[in-house]
Chain A
Amino acid sequence: MIKSKILEELIDRWLTKVGTLVAIFITFRGHNAPGGGFAGGLILGAVFVLQYLAGQQPTIRRKPILNPERLLGFGLLLALVTTAAPLFVGGAPLESYIWSITLPQIGKVKIVSSTFFDFGVFFVVVAVVLLVLTFLGTRGGAISHEPTDGVG
């Protein structure tokens, strides 16, 4: 636990917000420019590591992130569904499709299906960082199914 209140406040007030924004920005620009889900996920992960070092639980908007394992599964599923989806419309796995739509005020927006793959990677990376923060330093041992934990 770090005593310095300044560091804690700095991280909480500024780095978390700026870091999250940068992470999202980097993730979105990744299709044609350096960046993408992996880099974005690492940046958000770095934010969580900073929070952890400042002696806090990793949070977004002061809410702790529940169950990084599910986040990992969700991210992986999102990426894999994007991988497999073209098979159902007669394409090759991982093939990407581009849609152009015109939004009012904003103008023409190009949506690339591989962006969803990037989002999946983003969640996987963030979840892995959170899992590392959760489990490093704890004692190993058999982890069993929680009996109250149902489907979903």
Chain B
Amino acid sequence: MSSLVALPILIPLVAAALMLVVRNLFAQRAISFAALLSSLATATAVLVDVWNTGDIAVSRLGGWPGSFAITLVSDGLSSVLVVVALVVTATVLLFAVGQQTPDEHSPYYHPVYMALVAGISQAFLAGDLFNLFVAFEVLLMASYVLLTLEGNREQIRSGTTYVVLNIIESVVLVMAVGLIFAATGTVSFAELPERIAALPDGVRMGLHLLLLIAFGIKAAVFPLFSWLPDSYPTAPSSASAVFAGLLTKVGVYCLIRVQTLLFPGELSNLVMVVGVSTMAIGVLGAISQHDMKRILSFHIISQIGYMVFGLGIGGAVAIAATIFYLIHHIPVKTSLFLVEGIIERNTGSSSLDDVSGLARKSPLLAVLFLIPAMSLAGFPPLSGFLAKFALVRGGLSAEQYIGVGVAIVVSLLTLVSMVKIWVGAFWGEVAPSSLNNSGGVLRQHRSMASATAILVGFTLVIAVAAGPLYEFATRASDQLLDIERYISAVRSAS
């Protein structure tokens, strides 16, 4: 099984290289889908293995002994996130192909998209800090290109902010990695916990804060989030869907690793306060916006707050809830951006002033929006309710009443802003600007609609399979908290 761990990184990279040589658009599309589906198959095989045996799959690149090899580690959390990421990227690619926009027709779109996928997989699988940094660079480089591929004025403007902030983040991260190496003599996740624990308190806290700042910028937590609502709305819909769903969550994943593996239980009050303020400020930003993409972008921040809050609470129950939240949130958020993409494609605008009456025009699109929107707000049968319920339960058992109270109020406010989109875009008279498209909205965009439907279906599967998934999340969180097991799994791998 361990030989399969590297494939979700390798296959997309090979596809990217191949597509720089083969520049025919149809061949590129075929290669992209083949690469994503075969990566998904291997990642699923690893996940099934990890799920059944409860082991940690480790691959040593190069076959070198000890910490000389590049280790890829796929424990419960990593393996499930790789699978979710590949499902999401594959459906978004289907959406992008159906979108017929100039950026997908560029010969660079598909290779860069594959590089992004490889970077995301590598970030989830990296077994040491330096490779985590490399993975970040790979996915960031790819995201710079995807964000500005159309090269129009607005994209370049917001792209500049995005690039500058992410370079600052990279600098902080590489500084942290360098200082950690200077202090401990290693960057391997399997060796760091012991050596970090032996450091003096001040040094430990400094290193910890550096890592929290670097990953905090990436995850867009309060007060480091201001780049996100500025840059995501200008990206092409397909790109912003992947960014919204996945890139910030890579930051959250890294925060989870930092808080459970490297610095277990340290500064958790700070993390909790940051989480609670991120929730509240993100949702307040969302309420004050009047453009669908911007509302949804602020929601990303608010939702990140929930995960960081769970991480701050700590302990098996809250971490399991955070993992379940992460699994639920990625497809839900992405599908909301995809629905928004269809609306924008159909009406030419994402402002609530220009769009109205969509529920009458296309009831099915309304359903596709309503399911993930209600899920995000936390309505009972949907996955968002279960994720929030688990989180609130974790908070109550740790007696964090203030945080739990804020979480509940924030989910009400989330509902308010979703209702705002619903009332603005789906109710009311059919706007005169959209009268030119007399046929059904979804019939004109079959491939986009089916991609969205697949993803919405995936969120429903998460809700239906919540029992076993939550049990798996619990096991994954037990694995995260059992540092010895991680260390011995990496050491004993051949």
Report A's interface with B, CB cutoff 8 A.
69-70, 72-74, 76-77, 79-81, 83-84, 86-87, 91-96, 140-146, 149-152
**Of the candidates B18, B20, B149, which one forms a contact with A69 in the assembled complex, judged by CB atoms under 8 Å apart?**
B20
Contacts of B19 in A (CB 8 A): 73
Nearest-neighbour CB distance to chain A for B103, whole angstroms, equals 8
Closest 7 CB pairs of A and B: A73-B20, A76-B17, A73-B21, A92-B63, A95-B63, A94-B62, A77-B17
B61 near A152 with CB under 8 A, answer no
Q: How far is the CB of A67 from chain B (nearest CB, A)?
A: 9
Using A142-B151, A149-B24 as known contacts, say yes or no to A83 and B10 having CB atoms under 8 A apart: yes
26 cross-chain CB contacts under 8 A: A74-B20, A76-B17, A76-B20, A77-B21, A80-B10, A80-B14, A80-B17, A81-B14, A83-B10, A92-B69, A93-B6, A94-B61, A94-B63, A95-B63, A141-B151, A142-B106, A142-B149, A143-B107, A144-B105, A144-B107, A145-B24, A145-B106, A146-B23, A149-B23, A151-B22, A152-B22
Q: How far is the CB of A105 from chain B (nearest CB, A)?
A: 34
A92, B61: Cβ atoms closer than 8 Å? yes
Q: Is B70 an interface residue (CB 8 A)?
A: yes
Contact of B17 among A73, A142, A151, A152 (CB under 8 A): A73
Are B61 and A144 interface neighbours, CB within 8 A?
Answer: no
- List chain A residues, Cβ under 8 A from B270: none
> Is B59 at the interface (CB under 8 A from chain A)?
yes
Cα-based distance from A149 to B62 in the complex (angstroms): 38
Contacts of B281 in A (CB 8 A): none
- Of the residues A87, A92, A144, A146, contact of B60 by C-beta under 8 Å: A92
Contacts of A84 in B (CB 8 A): 10, 14
* B interface bracket (residues with beta carbon within 8 Å of A): 20 to 34
Please report the C-alpha to C-alpha distance between residue A77 and residue B16 in the assembled complex, in whole angstroms. Answer: 9
Question: Which label, helix, strand, loop or mixed, suits the secondary structure of the A interface?
Answer: loop
Are A143 and B14 interface neighbours, CB within 8 A?
A: no
Is the CB of B108 closer than 8 A to any CB of chain A? yes
A74: chain B residues at CB < 8 Å are: 17, 20-21
Query: For residue A144, which residue of chain B has the nearest CB?
Result: B105
Asked if B25 is at the interface of the complex by the 8 Å CB criterion, the answer is yes
The interface bits of chain B over 82-116 (1 if a CB of A lies within 8 angstroms of the residue's CB, else 0) are 00000000000000000000110111100100000
**Which residues of chain A are near B20, meaning CB under 8 Å?**
69-70, 72-74, 76
Residue of chain B at shortest CB distance from A68: B20
Q: Across the interface, which residues of A come within 8 angstroms of B61, CB to CB?
A: 92-95
Per-residue A-contact encoding for B42-63, CB less than 8 Å = 1, 0 else: 0000000000000000011111
> Is residue B13 contacting chain A, with contact meaning CB distance below 8 A?
yes
A97 to B216, CA, bound (A): 42
Contact status A70-B21, CB under 8 Å: yes
CA distance A146 to B105 in the complex (A): 10
User: Do B107 and A145 touch (CB < 8 A)?
Assistant: yes
List the B residue with the shortest CB-CB distance to A143. Answer: B106
Our pick among B3, B18, B59, B150 for the contact of A77 (Cβ within 8 Å) is B18
Is B24's CB under 8 angstroms from A93's CB? no
A146-B23 Cα distance, complex, nearest whole Å: 9
B493–chain A nearest beta-carbon distance, Å = 10
Which chain A residues border B59 with CB–CB below 8 Å?
92-93
B27 within 8 A of A: yes
A95-B25 contact in complex given A80-B17, A143-B107, C-beta closer than 8 Å:
no
Most central of B6, B103, B108 by chain A CB within 10 Å: B6
Contacts of B106 in A (CB 8 A): 142-145
Q: State which of B14, B24, B62, B150 has its C-beta within 8 Å of the C-beta of A95.
A: B62
